[in-house]
């Protein structure tokens, strides 16, 4: 019996000086336990299930999913919401922040399943996109420009139908 929907928070790292976004690419198979992942092989947005508030959750998720190479600051006012979505099981809230930094830690092998979820981190200039393009064109551009390897046919479908894909579209198109 399900008692209610889980709350999940996500953050797109934005650099307003360089006009770029930084995000992970989800590994087709988790690099720690080698299990196929939802929308694996495609661009992702840092985040996960609420563990005690927006800032605490996003700080933990960015640290884990970047394998300790990036960090965000733990103040809720640093995160600006740009989209929220819903699935059958979850309420999803998407934010952007320019209050983040590289830690100086080298990208290494995952120490656990959470770190094995992502295969790399990508930064793309926003001026590579036409915000007036269709959703599919913007998503195809994100995939191609990021060098995401893609995954299985089902993972591709999962990505294009995901709230993450919708969030990328909303952020880039400004809608």
Domains and CATH numbers, the chain: 6-173 (3.90.79.10)
What ranges in 8-101 are assigned the alpha helix state H?
54-65
pTM, full prediction: 0.95
Q: pLDDT (tens digit, 9 = 90+) per residue, 10-51?
A: 999 999 999 999 999 999 999 999 999 999 999 999 999 999
Give, in order, the Cα–Cα distances in Å from 151 to each of 14, 39, 82, 122. Answer: 26, 7, 27, 17
48 phi and psi, to 5 degrees? Answer: 175, -165
Q: Is the pLDDT of residue 2 over 80?
A: no
Query: What would the two tokens of residue 63 be?
Result: 């640290």
């Amino acid at each position: 019996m399900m008692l209610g929907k889980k709350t999940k928070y996500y953050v797109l790292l934005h650099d307003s000086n360089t006009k770029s976004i930084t995000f992970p690419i989800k590994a087709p198979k988790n690099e720690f336990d080698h299990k196929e992942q939802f929308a694996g092989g495609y661009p992702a947005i840092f985040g996960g299930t609420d563990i005690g508030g927006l800032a605490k959750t996003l700080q933990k998720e960015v640290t884990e999913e970047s394998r300790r190479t990036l960090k965000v600051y733990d103040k809720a006012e640093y995160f600006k919401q740009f989209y929220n979505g819903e699935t059958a099981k979850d309420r999803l809230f998407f934010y952007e922040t320019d209050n983040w930094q590289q830690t100086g830690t080298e990208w290494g092998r995952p120490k656990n399943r959470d770190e094995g979820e992502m295969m790399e981190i990508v930064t793309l200039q926003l001026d590579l996109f036409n915000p007036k393009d269709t959703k599919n064109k913007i998503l195809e551009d994100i995939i191609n420009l990021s060098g995401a390897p893609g995954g299985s046919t089902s993972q591709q479908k999962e990505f294009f139908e995901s709230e993450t894909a919708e969030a990328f579209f909303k952020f880039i198109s400004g809608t």
